[in-house]
Amino acid sequence: MTVDLMPSGAELPAGFAMPAAARIAAAFLLGYRGNTRAAYAADLAHFGRWCAHLDVEVLSCGRAHLDAYVDQQSRDGAAPATIRRRVSAIAGFFSYALDEGLIQRNPAARVRRPSAGDNVQSTGLTPAEAAALIAAAEEHSTRAAVIVLLSLLLGLRVSELCSATVADLSHQRGHRVLTVTRKGGKRQTMAVPPRAAAAIDDYLGGRAEGPLLVTATGRGMDRHAVWRLIRLLAGRAVPHLAHTLHPHDLRHTCATLALDAGATLRDVQDLLGHADPRTTRRYDRARFSLDRSPSHQLAALLS
């Protein structure tokens, strides 16, 4: 059995040209699935291209090469979270190679990674902006309404939204529920608020099988189609975000507005499927650090 490191039609980066490196990369990726596997494959490909640029074979890299790689990404403006994920993928690859006896030590084991920080870059939409986006979605189509409502009210990742099927819908204890596949393959059953449940019923129109979200040809929607639709709706509802709004911003909005509405941090953590409560707390700090800024009091004094 073989596993392609790169997407179909793409060439293997020169840094992974040696059979041993390509074999280890493929074997390492077998331990992951879905979007995580795709992300790690892209990360290894990125590192491979960097090695090829330096004319260094991947398995010959040392600690200095990895430190230089991290430094170069920072200079290029890569987000700290992106750098951390890339180094994590690379460290996993080298760990696998070490276990296979192809290298003597893992050069990425002690590489410094940028701190994730206590804040997030986006706190999402305000209540008024979220309401405007919902109204624009409902005016656009029943499918758009389902996408926006499930993203905002359930905080679904776009991958969870696109992988949901009609069979994942059911009823439990008087609630309409949707069972989604979280990161790592974990399944979680979530209550669907009545407004979103009504939108789903209108959209399905009696359809009882297949992907929850489908295109005009009946195929499942992908993340790119969802992204384009969100941008289109943003242009109508929140024009100042027409070129920047990302589906993940709706997940941020779900977290911050739920916390503003009085939901407990633990409940929001469960809703979003965060394994670590510190991840959820970043949304909490991000929102309230803005609302409580002393600048508001100072502006009121000077007015």
Question: Which of the residues 46, 176, 274, 282 is marked catalytic?
Answer: 274
Q: Long-range contacts made by residues 213-216, C-beta under 8 angstroms, separation at least 24?
A: 213/143, 213/146, 213/147, 213/161, 213/162, 213/164
User: Among 46, 157, 282, 287, which one carries the catalytic annotation?
Assistant: 157
Q: Does 157 participate in catalysis according to the annotation?
A: yes
183 in catalytic set = yes
Which of the following is catalytic: 84, 248, 281, 285? 248
**Catalytic status, residue 274:** yes
Asked if 248 is an active-site residue, the reply is yes
CA dihedral 252, 256, 259, 264 (to 10 degrees): 30
171 has catalytic annotation: no
Q: What share of the chain is helix, strand, coil (3-state, %, to 5)?
A: 60, 5, 30
- In the annotation, is 252 catalytic? no
Selecting among 46, 143, 176, 251, the annotated active-site residue is 251
Q: What are the tokens at 74? A: 């920072």
Torsions phi, psi for 226 (to 5 deg): -65, -45
Q: How far apart are CA 48 and CA 40, in angstroms?
A: 12
Nearest Cα neighbor of 166 from 195, 117, 131, 204 is 204
Starting from the edge strand earliest in sequence, which strands make up the sheet with 169-172, in order? Answer: 169-172, 175-181, 187-191
Which residue of the set 143, 203, 283, 287 is catalytic?
A: 283
Query: Choosing from 183, 231, 281, 285, which is the catalytic residue?
Result: 183
Residue 244 CA neighbour count, 13 Å, CB half? 8
Residue 55 CA, chain-centre distance (Å), reads 33
Residue numbers annotated as active site:
157, 183, 248, 251, 274, 283
